[in-house]
Structure 1
Amino acid sequence: GFIRAGSGAPVLFIHGVGMNAAIWQPQIAAMQDRFDVVAIDMLGHGASPLPPENVVLSDFADQAVRLLDHLGLDRVAVVGHSMGALVAQ
């Protein structure tokens, strides 16, 4: 799952372990007038499916890339918190 709001330059928000895309609601509200804001539910969080049994960090990064491809976004600014920052690398 994911949340998308606004228009403008795209920004992807990636949450940390035990959270979901909704954690970014204050940032989404503040930025949606100027940016195309996307907040992803990482595998096993929020509305996203469970990850593979032996999940590795690259599985989460691949999920984010698939979402960006699905949305037709080639280049985005990325904001990550905790594990989300590791995924963003």
Structure 2
Amino acid sequence: MTGRIWTVEVPARHRSKPLTGWHVFTGTADNGEKALSAARRAYEIALLHQAAGHDIPAGHRFGDWTARGLRADWDLDWTHATKLPFHSF
């Protein structure tokens, strides 16, 4: 995949406790919509691996999208996700 590095920040809410937060995905994409799609695909793949009792796959190349650190007891709100070009500090 070509493009620049993006972050996709997705609001998260714990299923049984009054906790909220964010899950942040990073990877390369040509634009924000492709970044959102790649993040969501990484999330769905991670859920499948988790449900099967396997480890969540790690990205093997710079720019790969993955969902490391996923917690099964949190729900992500993809309708309020933000897509931002990555800026280092």
The answer to whether TM tops 0.5 is: no
Which one has a larger percent strand, Structure 1 or Structure 2?
Answer: 2
Which one has a larger percent helix, Structure 1 or Structure 2?
Answer: 1
Scaled by the length of structure 2, what TM-score is found?
Answer: 0.31
